[in-house]
């Protein structure tokens, strides 16, 4: 029984050994075939990529050759026209949102520091003339009204490189003041006697009655000033005039028949842009003379508003 079992085991062992020997070469052969197949697949992919790369290089070469070829005359003309247009656009100055120059119209209240006499100064005849009604005395008020106009011309946008967003403008302006209306002017030709047996002034001197006519006391001012304006490109802009030069024309003239009185002005103000280049503003100015012109002083103040138009 035992011998039979051993015999069976031996036969089984021999069978397995022979089977393994037969299968191993086939497995090895199969593995080699699979490896060769994989290598062939990779090689074909590389070949495909290389072909695509060569095609791309050929396309690039074609585009370069086409770009280097001269264009037709029509295309060249269009390109040249486009270049000229771009050059002209670049050469044009940048368009400003708002204009720097301004035309303005102003008006308001004026005050004179001193009253004015007529063509004949009340003090020129002394106490005797005043006591006897020979002169009319001061013929003007101190309070007045004025109106005028002018324009600002821009000189620099940054005080010549010293202050950003600060303009310096040149202002040329005129105004008219009315200080008194229908005031008696000069000697009173209808003055009565003085108790010394002298008759009326008209009788004694032969002065015509026209000397007692009324006059309107007025003053015309022409001024040129530098104006410093802050906060460029902002809607609200304050400004000041450090000092300006003005010439005043007085009417009636002085006792010496002088009509011109030079002086200075100092001012400050501000304006606000309400729409595009339309402004509203307010200002105050002090007008100063270093002395009097034949007894007439033109010192005083003006204060009021203005409307400006940019151009």
DSSP summary character for residue 103: E
Neighbours of 40 (CB within 10 A): 9
Q: Left, alpha or beta for 264 (phi > 0: left; psi -120 to 50: alpha)?
A: beta
pLDDT in tens, the chain (311 residues): 555 555 555 665 655 555 555 545 554 455 656 666 665 666 788 888 888 888 888 888 888 877 676 556 677 778 788 888 778 767 766 666 678 899 999 999 999 998 876 665 444 444 444 444 445 556 677 899 999 999 999 999 999 999 999 999 999 999 999 988 766 665 555 544 444 444 444 444 454 544 456 778 899 999 999 999 999 989 999 999 999 999 999 988 877 788 999 999 999 999 999 999 999 999 999 999 988 877 788 999 999 999 999 99
pLDDT of residue 221: 97
**Which position has the token pair 């002005």?**
265
How many Å apart are CA 44 and CA 100, to the nearest integer?
Answer: 76
Strands (E), 50-142: 102-112
DSSP summary character for residue 191: -
End-to-end Cα separation, the chain, in angstroms = 133
pLDDT of residue 42: 66
CATH code, residues 102-310: 2.40.160.20
Which residues in 276-304 are b (16+ Cβ under 10 Å) and which e?
A: ebebebebebbbebeeebeebbbbbebbb
How many Å apart are CA 180 and CA 216, to the nearest integer?
Answer: 6
- Domains of the chain, residue spans: 1-92, 102-310
**What angle (nearest 5°) sits at the alpha carbon of residue 18, between those of residues 12 and 23?**
125
3-state SS, residue 147:
strand
β-bridge partners, 239: 229, 269
In terms of Cβ atoms closer than 10 Å to its own Cβ (0-12, 13-18, 19+), residue 211 is buried
Give the H/E segment covering residue 55: helix 2-68
Token pair listed for 87: 């050059």
Judge contact between 192 and 200, C-beta under 8 A: yes
CA dihedral 18, 19, 20, 26 (to 10 degrees): 120
Token pair listed for 204: 């004694």
Judge contact between 258 and 295, C-beta under 8 A: no
Residues 6+ apart with CB under 8 A from 124: 135, 255
Residues 6+ apart with CB under 8 A from 286: 265, 266, 267, 300, 301
Token pair listed for 231: 């906060």
- For 3, 41, 54, 280, 308, the CA distances from 285, given in Å and listed in that order, are 144, 98, 85, 17, 17
Q: What is the largest CA-CA distance in the chain?
A: 197
């Amino acid at each position: 029984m035992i011998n039979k079992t051993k015999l069976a085991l031996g036969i089984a062992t021999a069978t397995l050994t022979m089977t393994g020997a037969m299968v191993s070469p086939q497995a090895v052969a199969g593995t080699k075939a699979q490896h060769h197949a994989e290598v062939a697949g990779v090689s074909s992919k590389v070949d495909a990529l290389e072909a695509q790369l060569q095609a791309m290089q050929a396309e690039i070469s074609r585009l370069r050759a086409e770009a280097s070829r001269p264009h037709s005359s029509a295309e060249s003309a269009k390109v040249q026209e486009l270049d000229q247009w771009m050059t002209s656009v670049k050469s044009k100055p940048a368009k400003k949102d708002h204009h720097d120059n301004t035309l303005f119209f102003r008006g308001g209240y004026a005050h004179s520091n001193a009253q004015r006499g007529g063509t004949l100064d009340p003090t020129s005849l002394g106490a005797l003339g005043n006591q006897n009604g020979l002169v009319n005395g001061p013929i003007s008020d101190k309070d007045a009204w004025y109106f005028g106009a002018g324009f600002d011309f821009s000189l620099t946008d940054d005080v010549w490189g010293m202050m950003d967003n600060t303009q310096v403008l040149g202002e040329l302006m005129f105004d008219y003041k009315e200080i008194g209306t229908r005031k008696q002017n000069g000697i009173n030709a209808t003055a009565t006697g003085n108790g010394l047996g002298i008759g009326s002034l008209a009788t004694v001197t032969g002065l015509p009655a026209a000397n007692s006519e009324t006059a309107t006391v007025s003053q015309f001012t022409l001024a040129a000033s530098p104006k410093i304006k802050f906060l460029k490109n902002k809607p609200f802009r304050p400004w000041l005039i450090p000092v300006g030069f003005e010439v005043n024309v007085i009417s009636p003239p002085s006792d010496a028949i002088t009509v011109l009185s030079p002086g200075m002005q100092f001012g400050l103000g501000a304006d606000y842009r309400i729409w595009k280049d339309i402004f509203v503003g307010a200002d105050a100015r002090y007008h100063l003379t270093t002395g009097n012109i034949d007894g007439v002083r033109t010192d005083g103040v003006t204060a009021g508003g203005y409307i400006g138009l940019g151009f």
